[in-house]
């Protein structure tokens, strides 16, 4: 089980039984020669998702979004298998500007083979390819949507920054429709 902490930009590997940290991966803010690409400060990384890949030596890839400064989808190289250290470094492998800010979460949606990236202020979620291309957006119910997850029955749970969860069962699959350009 993995969670990300905003501000310190750290991924924690947790013991699922105790929820205590087993390992930490400090996200290096450097990208393309800019040592402060992900700027230090309050509104940092949000959301964490993993895309499994049996051909990847680490078993897959983590992605996060940075809320502001800059608002981007970030692909991370995390040494899940290649390091046994309690504290290791995660490096930015790629980053794609998505804007406008703030980006509030990222989840890999296997049925659409896309990322869903909600924005709490825009009341919508972007549908984004693994290459960072925006395929469309979908309006979300609720207020200040901070997170989204697809349930096995095709419905969605949306977490609101203002508190509470919404279970949303839209007609059809709006994310698939947005991704197809319909």
Same domain, 75 and 131: no
Same domain, 132 and 91: no
Same domain, 75 and 141: no
Which pLDDT tens digit goes with each residue over 149-179?
888 888 889 998 888 999 999 887 877 877 6
**What pTM did the predictor assign?**
0.90
Same domain, 144 and 94: no
Percent residues over pLDDT 70 in the chain: 97
Strands (E), 28-133: 45-52, 60-66, 72-77, 87-97, 107-109, 114-119, 124-128
Same domain, 3 and 38: yes
Cβ atoms 66, 9 nearer than 8 A:
no
Which pLDDT tens digit goes with each residue over 89-112?
999 999 999 978 889 999 999 888
Of 32-36, 42-46, 56-60, 110-114, the least confident: 42-46
Residue 121 domain boundaries:
104-182
């Amino acid at each position: 089980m993995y969670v990300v902490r905003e501000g310190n930009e750290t991924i924690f590997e947790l013991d699922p039984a105790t929820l205590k940290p087993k390992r930490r991966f400090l996200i290096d803010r450097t990208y393309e020669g800019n040592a402060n690409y992900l700027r230090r400060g309050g509104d940092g990384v949000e959301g964490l998702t993993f895309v499994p890949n049996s051909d990847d030596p680490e078993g897959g890839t983590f992605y996060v979004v940075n809320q502001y400064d800059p608002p981007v989808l970030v692909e991370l190289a995390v040494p899940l298998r290649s390091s046994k250290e309690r504290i290791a470094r995660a490096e930015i492998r790629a980053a794609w500007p998505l804007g406008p800010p703030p980006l509030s979460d990222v989840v890999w949606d296997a049925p659409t083979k896309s990322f869903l990236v909600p924005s709490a202020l825009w009341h919508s979620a972007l549908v984004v390819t693994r290459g960072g291309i925006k395929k469309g957006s979908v309006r979300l119910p609720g207020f200040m949507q901070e997170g989204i997850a697809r349930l096995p029955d095709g419905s969605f749970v949306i977490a609101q920054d203002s508190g509470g969860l919404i279970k949303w069962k839209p007609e059809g699959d709006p994310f698939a429709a947005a991704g197809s350009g319909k």
